[in-house]
Structure 1
């Protein structure tokens, strides 16, 4: 069983018709993961015992027609706490950590009957855009195993793109769902900030982090968001806004929809071949009846700098809890409490995490706060206001997801700034708290190119509407890694 040529709805119908049992589906999922993961290295931990037990209960009790996700296997980015299952955030400092509760999104999916099958690789503490900073594994791109999968949700994107699971959860702080979705040719949505509970997500930057789904098709993505979205009193940033049925607008019709094309997203630093593919995608939306006009978002160029100051500042605060005392890795042969802190963090954190902690601590220091953190926060406001001005006149913004296609391992390790710029087109969406999706727009040199659809706050439905129309017109989701494309 691999999931390259089926959808959640197809699997649901097979389960309802009893052409397939949940237990058989779950066993075959694990068989396929074990047969293929040496190639992709997407999973850190498998949850076989729990999953098979849940499957047996569903077979015993039956699945109702409206339980669309019941019995469907899925993968979990390993920065979402999972009760009694090793949860590492891909860091040595959390090796062998087993939480005593599960994240809100996992509670929601368990209630929907979906079956978590394993924890997926990521950049350590979600800090990175290549999944190369993981302490445990090096995940490979589903289309070309010599290329990076993107990050930080690289394991989640690859597991879906390679057909190991029908859907996976990722988290997005500055593009960490959309960028690996683009590099692997799948659908990845970062919901509006507050749309999905962050309770149980191991924090990187609390004002930017958001959990979202990665899937092969737009409809599958909408079905998953239906299950995980909603208010959670345990998350003080959770929105009480009503959650619509995100599948309701999947009509294929975008006639009259007004789409803005920001010229800054097509300029210097963006591969001309990527620009060509995305512009062809925009032309397809125009042919379907959308109205397309160019706009300007001039503060975009400051997004990366503002993001790394704000995100690193929040990270330096959030990661203070990892001290070697309460849980996780603890350094040995220490002499004092201070020595315990220093040695545990020195040995437990990787280079990229240390880099961001140092940058964040410096930005928050007494002599630097006004010069860096405060100015970055002001730039964030300018970027958010700029988006609102556009959305006063347009339904969506469409642009490339990334400046380039997936590149080889190690290419940018000596210059972190190059890797940082991979998120230049996705970061502004997080700074403004907006929803954004990457969908496959075509190929360059045999590798997928992501097209990004950005909506106003809590208007994911419009993104799904346009993405579905594009997907149905192009059928690009039918092109699969290693297949007859």
Structure 2
């Protein structure tokens, strides 16, 4: 079985009818992982024994019609706590850490009967856009092993694109689900901030982080998002709002009369020409389906990257203080005193990018610089949110390129942090405003044949309109049916 050739609904029907068992599906997932892992390097830890035990229990009890996710294998970004299963955030400082509890999203999926096959690689503490910053190994793009899979959820995206699993959990702080989804030709959804509990998710920047899914198609994404969404008393930032049946509503999906705004900043000359061509073709397709399209401006987009890296790094410098070599995680040897424990542990345990952001954040929060940097960045964040709010007064969704380029070669940007940071210029504003957004496969570059993603941004808690728009496009195109070289057809 190739998971790129099927979907959750079909597998669920086969499970209910006894045509396939949860054990067989789980074994197929591990078989595919072992076939691709030497090349792709998507996983940090496998959960084979526990996963097969869970699958056997499901087979014994039987899967009912209303258990749509039961027996479905998935992967988890190694930023999300899993009880008794190594959770590292791809950092040497947590290389042997095993949490004593599950994140809320994992508890929800366990309740649904989904089977976690393992933990996927990422940029250390989700700080990066290429998965080259992992403390253990770089993950490769299944479409072209010489190119990055994007980041920070690069391992999750690569696992889906390689056909290892139907879906993988990711986290999105500044584009870390959408950008790798674009680079790997799959669907990546970042929900509204507060839609999904962050409890048990290792914190990078708490006011930006949000959990979401990477999948092969839109309906699978909607089904899975329903399972992890909702208020959680463990997370005071989770929103007490009803969770719609997004997937069930897709049958009525139509974009006729949909009002689409296209920011000039998202289709400017700063976007590679081959990416712009794909995005413009996708927009014309929406017009042919009955949508109306107008060009608008989000004038403060150009300040997004600068403001984001001040704010997110400031939050990171605070969140990462807990890694001190005392309570849990890695502790350096040969220390002389308590201060030496702190310094040596953090020096040896953190990678260069994490250290860079801690220093940037600490500087931005320090006396004499708070007003000059952090306070100004917070004001820019409000202006960016206001830009979106103004556009949404007249339009249903905003569309444009997910990323300015296709997946780039290894080493192309890793030595230039500023160049790497600019890679997220089109995704960061969404996180600054706390909005939902998706990257949808929209075509392929004529220059290098790599996938290109279309970004669809919605109003707060209006994920349904995003799913509807994406589903209408997907059902009238075949880009989502194309598979990476290691995931199926060439």
TM-score bin, normalised by smaller chain? over 0.9
Displacement of 1:484 after TM fit?
A: 4.7
CA positional deviation for 1:269: 2.0
Asked if 1:309 corresponds to 2:321, the answer is: no
Deviations 1:400-429 (A, max 9, x none): 000000010011122111111110000000
In 1, the alpha carbon distance for the partners of 2:408 and 2:133 equals: 16
Deviation digits for residues 340-388 of structure 1 (CA, Å, limit 9, x no counterpart): 0000000000000000000000000011000000000000000001101
Query: Distance in 2 between the 1:426 and 1:131 partners?
Result: 17
Aligned to 2:348: 347
Partner of 2:460: 457
Post-superposition offset of 1:448: 0.2
Q: Which residue pairs with 1:406 in the alignment?
A: 407
CA deviation after TM superposition for structure 1 residue 268, in Å? 3.5
User: Structure 1 residue 248: deviation in Å?
Assistant: 3.1
Q: Is the 8 A contact 1:252 1:472 kept in 2?
A: no
Q: Summarize the alignment of residues 270-349 of structure 1 with structure 2, pairs less than 5 Å apart.
A: 270-349=271-350
Structure 1 portions without partners, runs of 5+: none
Distance 1:211 1:80 in 2: 9
Is residue 479 from structure 1 mapped to residue 477 from structure 2 by the alignment? no
C-alpha separation in 1, matches of 2:422 and 2:9: 37
State the alpha-carbon separation in 1 of the partners of residues 246 and 478 from structure 2: 20
2:244 maps to 1:244: yes
Instruction: Tell me if structure 2 keeps the 8 A contact 1:249–1:464.
Output: no
Deviations 1:282-328 (A, max 9, x none): 11111101111111110000000000000000000000000011111
Q: Which residue number corresponds to residue 387 of structure 2?
A: 386
Partner Cα separation in structure 1 for residue 132 and residue 281 of structure 2? 32
State how far apart, in whole Å, the 1-side matches of 2:489 and 2:359 are: 48
Contact 1:187 / 1:217 at 8 angstroms: preserved in 2? yes
- Mark the runs of 5 or more structure 2 residues left unpaired by the alignment: none
**1:217-276 CA distances to partner (integer Å, 9 max, x unpaired)?**
000000000100000010010000111011133134110111000001112421011011
Question: Which residue does the alignment assign to 2:67?
Answer: 67
Q: Which TM-score applies when normalising by structure 1?
A: 0.99
Match of 1:171 in 2: 171
Contact 1:129 1:176 in 2 (8 A): yes
Equivalent position of 1:49 in the other structure: 49
Identify the residue that residue 468 of structure 1 maps to in structure 2: 471
Residue 417 of structure 1: aligned partner = 418
- Residue 260 (structure 1) aligns with: 261
Cα distance in 2, alignment partners of residues 484 and 231 from structure 1: 41
Q: CA RMSD of the aligned region, Å? A: 0.8
Alpha-carbon distance in 1 for matches of 2:326, 2:217: 44
The CA distance in 2 between the partners of 1:122 and 1:140, in whole Å, is 11
Q: Which residue of 1 aligns with 2:23?
A: 23
User: What is the rounded CA distance, in whole Å, between the counterparts of 1:484 and 1:12 in structure 2?
Assistant: 24
Q: Residues of 2 paired with 1:152 and 1:351: CA distance?
A: 15
Tell me which residue corresponds to 1:161: 161
Q: Secondary structure at the match of 1:86?
A: coil
Once the two structures are TM-superposed, the CA of residue 150 in structure 1 deviates from its matched residue by 0.1
User: Deviation at 1:2?
Assistant: 2.5
Match of 2:228 in 1: 228
Per-residue CA deviations over 1:195-220 (Å, capped at 9, x if unaligned) read 00000000000000000011000000
Distance across 2 between alignment mates of 1:238 and 1:84: 25
Greater displacement, 22-31 / 175-184: 22-31
Separation in structure 1 between the aligned mates of residue 414 and residue 465 of structure 2, nearest angstrom: 38
Is structure 2 residue 117 aligned with structure 1 residue 117?
A: yes
How far, CA to CA, are the matches of 1:94 and 1:7 in structure 2?
34
**How far apart, in 2, do the equivalents of 1:246 and 1:442 lie?**
25
CA distance in 1, matches of 2:422, 2:8: 34
Matched position secondary structure for 2:324: coil
Cα drift, residue 472 of structure 1: 0.6
Deviations along 1:53-109, whole A, 9 cap, x unmatched? 110110011111011100000000001010001100000000110000000000000
Alpha carbons 1:162, 1:481 under 8 Å: kept: yes
1: CA distance, partners of 2:277 / 2:172:
26
Q: Paired residue for 2:88?
A: 88
What is the rounded CA distance, in whole Å, between the counterparts of 1:413 and 1:268 in structure 2? 23
| SS class of match (1:359) | helix
How far off its partner does 1:28 sit?
1.8
Distance 1:274 1:194 in 2: 31
How much does 1:446 deviate?
A: 1.2
Q: For 2:438, what is the secondary structure of its paired residue?
A: strand
> Scaled by the length of structure 2, what TM-score is found?
0.98
> Deviation at 1:140?
0.3
In the other structure, the counterpart of 1:447 is: 450
Cα distance, 1:164 vs. partner?
0.2
Q: Which runs of 4+ in 1 moved over 6 A?
A: none
Question: How many correspondences in the alignment?
Answer: 485
